[in-house]
Amino acid sequence: MVDNSKEKAVILVSGGLDSATTLAIALELGFPCYCLTFDYGQRHRIELESARAVVKSLDVERHEVMTLNIGWMGGSALTDQSIEVPDTPVSGIPVTYVPARNTVFLSVALGWAETLGARHIFIGANAVDYSGYPDCRPTFIRAFEQLANVATKAGVEGSGFHIHAPLIQMSKAEIILRGQDLGINFALTLSCYNPGPEGAACGVCESCRLRARGFHDAGLTDPTQYRDKAPEVA
């Protein structure tokens, strides 16, 4: 096994189960992990508490919560209170897509990585059980890695960057099982797009449904606290 103990990695941590599992994978690979969470004006800001709890439960080097308000732009149900979070599946890219969010987040992570002397950046993007977001596809990850290696001093003069998306081709059930194997406490995570003030999940948004389906398919109990009831899984 490759010894990554001298290689720093920046991990994007949102507080959801995908990013928690991604962080656990990076730690398993031996990387000293520097975690980055964004307070970007999201309506579900309580996920920041989940991110802090997840990071605190694991052995990381540092955790930064950065305020980067992109909510003023609007255009997404996650940042604009006037747009309702859908409670039924939709076709195409849903209104919960935040314009250019992963591009912005990875750009900031790239800058921090270059400052730290880190060559590795991890993101919990997933292109299987997801909502159809264009910035969660393998094409995007590859393109951003190419960008990172032509737009930075470390990319041009150094050894370059690697953008890791270890969950990109995994189902939600596979992600949950992987996270369980790595000791993740999924009760600390939050997946809901429209939680109550105390963090109880709505149980009707697409993210809640994907999470519930994932635990069902994995044969595990979903530890999520729902406001009313868990999504029905046929």
Q: What's the rounded Cα separation, in Å, for the pair 56 and 138?
A: 30
Residue 216 lies in a domain: no
Sign of the four-CA dihedral 222, 184, 209, 13: positive
Task: Sheet containing 62-67: give its strands across.
Answer: 62-67, 33-39, 9-12, 120-122, 162-164
pLDDT given at position 233: 84
Q: Closest by alpha carbon to 57, among 186, 167, 176, 161? A: 186
CA dihedral 221, 17, 44, 222 (to 10 degrees): 0
How many C-beta atoms lie closer than 10 Å to residue 93's C-beta? 11
Residue 207 lies in a domain: no
Q: Is the CB of residue 34 less than 8 Å from the CB of residue 193?
A: no
Residue 226 lies in a domain: no
Residue 192 lies in a domain: no
Residue 199 lies in a domain: no
Residue 195 lies in a domain: no
Q: What's the rounded Cα separation, in Å, for the pair 129 and 175?
A: 10
Q: List the structure tokens of 94.
A: 């849903």
How many domains in the chain?
A: 1
Residue 29 lies in a domain: yes
pLDDT given at position 142: 97
Residue 118 lies in a domain: yes
Q: What's the rounded Cα separation, in Å, for the pair 148 and 145?
A: 5
Return the CATH number at 171.
Answer: 3.40.50.620
Full domain range(s) for residue 82: 9-185
pLDDT given at position 234: 66
Q: List the structure tokens of 180.
A: 């369980």
Which class for 176: exposed (0-12), middle (13-18), buried (19 or more C-beta within 10 A)? Answer: buried
Q: Please name the residues in contact with 82: beta carbons below 8 A apart, sequence gap of 6 or more.
A: none
pLDDT digits (tens), the chain, 234 positions: 678 888 999 999 999 999 999 999 999 999 999 999 999 999 889 999 999 999 999 999 999 999 999 989 889 999 988 899 988 777 788 899 999 999 999 999 999 999 999 999 999 999 987 778 999 999 999 999 999 999 999 999 999 999 999 999 999 999 999 999 999 999 999 999 999 988 899 999 999 999 999 999 999 999 999 998 888 886
